[in-house]
Amino acid sequence: MKITAITPANDAPNAVKRQTFPKAPSSRKRALRFGVAALLVMLAVLTASLLEVRAGNATVITRFGDPVRVLLTPGLAWRIPAPFESPVDVDLRIRSTSSGLQDVGTRDGLRVLMQAWVIWKVKSDNDDVLRFIRAVQNQPDEAARQIRTFIGSALETTASNYALSDIVNVDGKKVKIAELEEQLQSQLKNQLLNSYGIEVIQTGIERLTLPAVTLNATVDRMRAERETIAAERTAEGKRLAAEIHSKADRDARILEADASVKAAAITADAQRDAAGIYGKAWHSDPQLYDLLRSLDTLSSIVNSSTRLVLRTDAAPFKTLVQEPGQPQEKTQP
Protein backbone atom coordinates (compact mmCIF):
# COMPACT_ATOMS: atom_id res chain seq x y z
CA MET A 1 0.00 0.00 0.00
CA LYS A 2 1.38 3.40 -0.94
CA ILE A 3 0.35 6.81 0.34
CA THR A 4 0.97 9.90 -1.82
CA ALA A 5 0.98 13.40 -0.40
CA ILE A 6 0.80 16.55 -2.51
CA THR A 7 2.85 19.56 -1.39
CA PRO A 8 3.49 22.92 -3.07
CA ALA A 9 6.69 23.13 -5.16
CA ASN A 10 9.35 25.78 -4.54
CA ASP A 11 9.49 26.98 -8.07
CA ALA A 12 5.81 26.74 -8.72
CA PRO A 13 3.48 27.75 -5.94
CA ASN A 14 0.55 26.13 -7.65
CA ALA A 15 2.35 22.90 -8.54
CA VAL A 16 2.07 19.72 -6.49
CA LYS A 17 4.81 17.24 -5.43
CA ARG A 18 4.34 13.57 -4.61
CA GLN A 19 6.01 12.01 -1.45
CA THR A 20 6.15 8.25 -0.73
CA PHE A 21 6.17 6.80 2.96
CA PRO A 22 7.76 3.39 4.03
CA LYS A 23 5.66 0.23 3.95
CA ALA A 24 3.82 -1.04 7.16
CA PRO A 25 5.16 -4.20 8.96
CA SER A 26 4.53 -7.45 7.19
CA SER A 27 2.28 -10.26 8.47
CA ARG A 28 5.33 -12.40 9.35
CA LYS A 29 6.64 -9.84 11.77
CA ARG A 30 3.22 -9.42 13.28
CA ALA A 31 2.92 -13.17 13.84
CA LEU A 32 6.37 -13.28 15.48
CA ARG A 33 5.38 -10.60 17.91
CA PHE A 34 2.20 -12.40 18.80
CA GLY A 35 4.19 -15.61 19.34
CA VAL A 36 6.69 -13.94 21.68
CA ALA A 37 3.86 -12.35 23.64
CA ALA A 38 2.07 -15.69 23.95
CA LEU A 39 5.32 -17.36 25.10
CA LEU A 40 5.83 -14.71 27.76
CA VAL A 41 2.26 -15.20 28.97
CA MET A 42 2.79 -18.97 29.15
CA LEU A 43 6.02 -18.51 31.08
CA ALA A 44 4.26 -16.18 33.49
CA VAL A 45 1.48 -18.74 33.98
CA LEU A 46 3.98 -21.55 34.51
CA THR A 47 5.93 -19.44 36.98
CA ALA A 48 2.74 -18.63 38.88
CA SER A 49 1.85 -22.35 38.91
CA LEU A 50 5.17 -23.48 40.40
CA LEU A 51 5.92 -23.36 44.11
CA GLU A 52 8.83 -24.49 46.29
CA VAL A 53 8.36 -26.74 49.31
CA ARG A 54 11.27 -25.93 51.61
CA ALA A 55 12.95 -28.42 53.93
CA GLY A 56 11.54 -28.24 57.46
CA ASN A 57 8.22 -26.88 56.21
CA ALA A 58 4.95 -28.28 55.02
CA THR A 59 2.99 -26.41 52.34
CA VAL A 60 -0.80 -26.46 52.47
CA ILE A 61 -2.61 -25.63 49.20
CA THR A 62 -5.85 -23.78 49.81
CA ARG A 63 -8.53 -23.28 47.15
CA PHE A 64 -10.55 -20.16 47.87
CA GLY A 65 -9.39 -20.44 51.52
CA ASP A 66 -10.28 -24.11 51.94
CA PRO A 67 -7.30 -26.56 52.37
CA VAL A 68 -7.30 -29.16 49.63
CA ARG A 69 -3.92 -30.90 49.93
CA VAL A 70 -0.69 -30.93 51.93
CA LEU A 71 2.80 -31.06 50.42
CA LEU A 72 5.43 -32.59 52.71
CA THR A 73 8.26 -33.54 50.33
CA PRO A 74 10.82 -30.75 49.75
CA GLY A 75 11.15 -29.59 46.13
CA LEU A 76 8.99 -28.07 43.36
CA ALA A 77 5.25 -28.66 43.07
CA TRP A 78 2.33 -27.48 40.94
CA ARG A 79 -0.73 -25.47 41.81
CA ILE A 80 -3.39 -23.50 40.08
CA PRO A 81 -2.32 -19.85 39.95
CA ALA A 82 -3.84 -17.30 42.23
CA PRO A 83 -6.50 -16.39 43.03
CA PHE A 84 -7.71 -19.97 42.64
CA GLU A 85 -5.11 -21.70 44.84
CA SER A 86 -2.73 -20.20 47.41
CA PRO A 87 0.14 -21.83 49.38
CA VAL A 88 0.42 -21.67 53.17
CA ASP A 89 3.74 -22.67 54.78
CA VAL A 90 3.62 -24.57 58.10
CA ASP A 91 6.83 -24.69 60.14
CA LEU A 92 7.71 -28.29 61.12
CA ARG A 93 10.87 -27.43 63.05
CA ILE A 94 11.35 -28.32 66.72
CA ARG A 95 10.32 -25.71 69.31
CA SER A 96 10.39 -25.49 73.09
CA THR A 97 7.91 -23.98 75.54
CA SER A 98 8.11 -23.44 79.30
CA SER A 99 5.07 -23.38 81.55
CA GLY A 100 6.35 -21.00 84.22
CA LEU A 101 5.88 -21.74 87.93
CA GLN A 102 2.61 -23.58 88.58
CA ASP A 103 1.10 -24.02 92.05
CA VAL A 104 0.10 -27.70 92.29
CA GLY A 105 -1.00 -29.96 95.12
CA THR A 106 0.51 -33.26 96.20
CA ARG A 107 -1.22 -36.42 97.37
CA ASP A 108 -0.62 -35.55 101.03
CA GLY A 109 -2.28 -32.13 100.69
CA LEU A 110 0.82 -29.92 100.43
CA ARG A 111 1.47 -27.26 97.77
CA VAL A 112 4.49 -27.29 95.44
CA LEU A 113 5.64 -24.79 92.80
CA MET A 114 6.67 -26.61 89.61
CA GLN A 115 7.89 -25.39 86.25
CA ALA A 116 7.95 -27.78 83.28
CA TRP A 117 9.33 -27.52 79.75
CA VAL A 118 8.11 -29.20 76.57
CA ILE A 119 9.94 -29.80 73.29
CA TRP A 120 7.38 -30.07 70.48
CA LYS A 121 6.76 -29.72 66.78
CA VAL A 122 3.93 -30.05 64.29
CA LYS A 123 3.77 -33.69 63.30
CA SER A 124 4.72 -34.34 59.67
CA ASP A 125 1.42 -35.88 58.68
CA ASN A 126 -1.35 -34.60 56.39
CA ASP A 127 -4.12 -34.81 58.96
CA ASP A 128 -2.02 -33.36 61.78
CA VAL A 129 -0.85 -30.41 59.66
CA LEU A 130 -4.43 -29.61 58.73
CA ARG A 131 -5.48 -30.01 62.37
CA PHE A 132 -2.78 -27.53 63.44
CA ILE A 133 -3.95 -24.96 60.87
CA ARG A 134 -7.59 -25.26 61.88
CA ALA A 135 -6.83 -25.16 65.65
CA VAL A 136 -4.44 -22.18 65.87
CA GLN A 137 -4.60 -20.65 62.35
CA ASN A 138 -0.94 -21.58 61.76
CA GLN A 139 0.29 -19.37 64.60
CA PRO A 140 3.12 -20.95 66.66
CA ASP A 141 2.80 -18.35 69.42
CA GLU A 142 -0.84 -19.24 69.93
CA ALA A 143 0.12 -22.92 69.93
CA ALA A 144 2.72 -22.24 72.64
CA ARG A 145 0.09 -20.45 74.74
CA GLN A 146 -2.26 -23.39 74.42
CA ILE A 147 0.55 -25.78 75.35
CA ARG A 148 1.27 -23.82 78.53
CA THR A 149 -2.38 -24.15 79.50
CA PHE A 150 -2.24 -27.90 78.94
CA ILE A 151 1.00 -28.18 80.96
CA GLY A 152 -0.57 -26.44 83.96
CA SER A 153 -3.55 -28.81 83.92
CA ALA A 154 -1.35 -31.88 83.41
CA LEU A 155 0.98 -30.86 86.26
CA GLU A 156 -1.97 -30.50 88.64
CA THR A 157 -3.31 -33.92 87.67
CA THR A 158 0.03 -35.72 87.71
CA ALA A 159 1.41 -34.20 90.93
CA SER A 160 -1.72 -35.27 92.83
CA ASN A 161 -0.59 -38.90 92.40
CA TYR A 162 2.63 -38.35 94.38
CA ALA A 163 3.40 -37.42 97.97
CA LEU A 164 5.83 -34.65 98.76
CA SER A 165 8.40 -37.23 99.92
CA ASP A 166 8.30 -38.72 96.41
CA ILE A 167 9.30 -35.35 94.95
CA VAL A 168 11.61 -33.88 97.61
CA ASN A 169 13.72 -36.31 99.62
CA VAL A 170 17.29 -36.53 100.91
CA ASP A 171 17.35 -40.16 99.81
CA GLY A 172 17.81 -40.17 96.04
CA LYS A 173 16.36 -43.68 95.73
CA LYS A 174 12.98 -42.44 96.98
CA VAL A 175 12.69 -39.51 94.53
CA LYS A 176 10.26 -40.24 91.67
CA ILE A 177 10.78 -37.17 89.46
CA ALA A 178 11.61 -39.33 86.42
CA GLU A 179 8.37 -41.28 86.82
CA LEU A 180 6.41 -38.03 87.20
CA GLU A 181 7.97 -36.68 83.99
CA GLU A 182 7.02 -39.84 82.09
CA GLN A 183 3.39 -39.58 83.19
CA LEU A 184 3.34 -35.87 82.36
CA GLN A 185 4.69 -36.52 78.86
CA SER A 186 2.22 -39.36 78.26
CA GLN A 187 -0.73 -37.16 79.22
CA LEU A 188 0.43 -34.17 77.15
CA LYS A 189 1.30 -36.31 74.15
CA ASN A 190 -2.22 -37.64 73.66
CA GLN A 191 -3.98 -34.34 74.38
CA LEU A 192 -1.86 -32.14 72.11
CA LEU A 193 -1.74 -34.62 69.25
CA ASN A 194 -5.49 -35.17 69.20
CA SER A 195 -6.37 -31.49 69.65
CA TYR A 196 -3.66 -29.58 67.77
CA GLY A 197 -1.69 -32.09 65.70
CA ILE A 198 1.38 -31.33 67.86
CA GLU A 199 3.91 -34.06 68.59
CA VAL A 200 5.51 -33.92 72.07
CA ILE A 201 9.14 -35.01 71.80
CA GLN A 202 10.30 -34.59 75.41
CA THR A 203 9.02 -33.20 78.70
CA GLY A 204 10.84 -32.42 81.93
CA ILE A 205 10.68 -30.58 85.24
CA GLU A 206 12.72 -27.40 84.90
CA ARG A 207 12.30 -25.94 88.37
CA LEU A 208 10.90 -27.06 91.70
CA THR A 209 10.43 -24.93 94.79
CA LEU A 210 8.27 -24.91 97.89
CA PRO A 211 6.06 -22.20 99.42
CA ALA A 212 6.94 -21.05 102.94
CA VAL A 213 4.30 -23.21 104.62
CA THR A 214 5.24 -26.31 102.67
CA LEU A 215 8.94 -25.64 103.18
CA ASN A 216 8.51 -25.46 106.96
CA ALA A 217 6.44 -28.63 106.95
CA THR A 218 9.06 -30.35 104.81
CA VAL A 219 11.90 -29.29 107.09
CA ASP A 220 9.96 -30.51 110.15
CA ARG A 221 9.22 -33.82 108.47
CA MET A 222 12.84 -34.27 107.42
CA ARG A 223 13.99 -33.39 110.94
CA ALA A 224 11.58 -35.94 112.41
CA GLU A 225 12.80 -38.58 109.97
CA ARG A 226 16.43 -37.82 110.85
CA GLU A 227 15.64 -38.00 114.57
CA THR A 228 13.83 -41.30 114.10
CA ILE A 229 16.76 -42.74 112.18
CA ALA A 230 19.19 -41.42 114.80
CA ALA A 231 17.13 -42.98 117.62
CA GLU A 232 16.98 -46.31 115.78
CA ARG A 233 20.72 -46.32 115.20
CA THR A 234 21.41 -45.30 118.80
CA ALA A 235 19.21 -48.12 120.09
CA GLU A 236 20.90 -50.55 117.74
CA GLY A 237 24.32 -49.37 118.96
CA LYS A 238 23.30 -49.79 122.58
CA ARG A 239 21.97 -53.28 121.86
CA LEU A 240 25.21 -54.28 120.16
CA ALA A 241 27.24 -52.73 123.01
CA ALA A 242 25.20 -54.65 125.58
CA GLU A 243 25.78 -57.87 123.64
CA ILE A 244 29.51 -57.16 123.47
CA HIS A 245 29.68 -56.36 127.23
CA SER A 246 27.65 -59.44 128.09
CA LYS A 247 29.86 -61.64 125.98
CA ALA A 248 33.00 -60.06 127.46
CA ASP A 249 31.70 -60.56 131.03
CA ARG A 250 30.84 -64.16 130.26
CA ASP A 251 34.26 -64.80 128.76
CA ALA A 252 35.91 -63.07 131.74
CA ARG A 253 33.98 -65.22 134.23
CA ILE A 254 34.91 -68.34 132.30
CA LEU A 255 38.56 -67.31 132.24
CA GLU A 256 38.51 -66.45 135.95
CA ALA A 257 36.89 -69.77 136.79
CA ASP A 258 39.44 -71.66 134.72
CA ALA A 259 42.24 -69.67 136.34
CA SER A 260 40.84 -70.33 139.81
CA VAL A 261 40.66 -74.04 139.09
CA LYS A 262 44.20 -74.06 137.79
CA ALA A 263 45.41 -71.91 140.71
CA ALA A 264 43.71 -74.22 143.23
CA ALA A 265 45.31 -77.20 141.57
CA ILE A 266 48.72 -75.55 141.59
CA THR A 267 48.27 -74.48 145.23
CA ALA A 268 47.23 -77.98 146.23
CA ASP A 269 50.23 -79.45 144.46
CA ALA A 270 52.50 -76.88 146.10
CA GLN A 271 51.06 -77.55 149.54
CA ARG A 272 51.42 -81.27 149.02
CA ASP A 273 55.03 -80.86 147.94
CA ALA A 274 55.69 -78.47 150.83
CA ALA A 275 54.15 -80.90 153.30
CA GLY A 276 56.35 -83.63 151.94
CA ILE A 277 59.42 -81.44 152.26
CA TYR A 278 58.45 -80.38 155.80
CA GLY A 279 57.88 -84.02 156.73
CA LYS A 280 61.29 -85.04 155.48
CA ALA A 281 62.90 -82.07 157.24
CA TRP A 282 61.26 -82.90 160.56
CA HIS A 283 62.33 -86.55 160.35
CA SER A 284 65.89 -85.56 159.57
CA ASP A 285 66.26 -82.81 162.27
CA PRO A 286 63.26 -81.88 164.43
CA GLN A 287 65.02 -78.95 166.10
CA LEU A 288 66.00 -77.44 162.77
CA TYR A 289 62.45 -77.97 161.60
CA ASP A 290 61.06 -76.11 164.61
CA LEU A 291 63.55 -73.28 164.01
CA LEU A 292 62.63 -72.94 160.33
CA ARG A 293 58.92 -73.07 161.06
CA SER A 294 59.32 -70.39 163.69
CA LEU A 295 61.18 -68.20 161.26
CA ASP A 296 58.48 -68.77 158.62
CA THR A 297 55.86 -67.77 161.12
CA LEU A 298 57.75 -64.61 162.00
CA SER A 299 58.16 -63.64 158.34
CA SER A 300 54.44 -64.09 157.73
CA ILE A 301 53.22 -62.00 160.66
CA VAL A 302 55.92 -59.35 160.94
CA ASN A 303 56.82 -56.80 158.29
CA SER A 304 58.73 -53.52 158.14
CA SER A 305 55.89 -51.50 159.61
CA THR A 306 55.05 -53.88 162.46
CA ARG A 307 56.00 -53.09 166.02
CA LEU A 308 55.65 -55.82 168.64
CA VAL A 309 56.57 -55.88 172.32
CA LEU A 310 56.88 -59.49 173.39
CA ARG A 311 58.80 -61.52 175.85
CA THR A 312 61.94 -62.96 174.46
CA ASP A 313 61.30 -66.33 176.08
CA ALA A 314 57.99 -66.65 174.32
CA ALA A 315 57.69 -68.66 171.18
CA PRO A 316 58.63 -68.10 168.51
CA PHE A 317 60.95 -65.29 169.68
CA LYS A 318 62.78 -67.48 172.23
CA THR A 319 64.67 -68.98 169.35
CA LEU A 320 66.45 -65.67 169.02
CA VAL A 321 67.94 -65.88 172.59
CA GLN A 322 68.10 -69.59 173.18
CA GLU A 323 71.24 -71.40 172.32
CA PRO A 324 71.05 -74.26 169.95
CA GLY A 325 70.74 -77.61 171.68
CA GLN A 326 69.43 -76.08 174.92
CA PRO A 327 66.18 -77.62 176.00
CA GLN A 328 63.18 -75.45 175.59
CA GLU A 329 61.57 -74.05 178.69
CA LYS A 330 57.91 -73.92 179.12
CA THR A 331 56.60 -70.43 179.34
CA GLN A 332 54.47 -69.32 182.22
CA PRO A 333 50.96 -68.49 181.38
Pairing of strands 198-209, 111-122: antiparallel
Angstrom distances, CA of residue 79 to CA of 50, 53, 121, 124: 6, 12, 26, 21
pLDDT in tens, the chain (333 residues): 444 444 454 544 444 445 554 554 578 887 888 877 778 777 776 666 778 888 889 998 888 878 888 888 888 887 877 778 888 899 999 999 999 898 898 998 888 899 999 999 999 999 999 999 989 988 999 999 999 999 999 999 999 999 988 888 878 888 999 999 999 999 999 899 999 999 999 999 999 887 777 777 777 877 888 888 999 999 999 999 999 999 999 999 999 888 989 998 898 888 888 878 877 777 777 777 777 777 777 777 777 777 777 676 766 666 666 665 555 555 444
pLDDT value, residue 114: 92
What is d(CA 17, CA 9) in angstroms, rounded to the nearest whole number?
A: 6
Q: DSSP per residue over 193-221, as a string?
A: HHHH-EEEEEEEEEEEE--HHHHHHHHHH
Q: In CATH terms, is domain 95-210 a member of 3.30.70.260?
A: no
Q: Where are the domains of the chain?
A: 4-91, 95-210, 285-320
Among 208, 151, 206, 160, residue whose Cα is nearest residue 184: 151
SS3 106: coil
Per-residue pLDDT tens digits for 44-103 = 766 667 788 888 899 988 888 788 888 888 888 878 777 788 888 999 999 999 998 988
Model confidence, pTM: 0.54
Contact 144, 119 (CB under 8 A): no
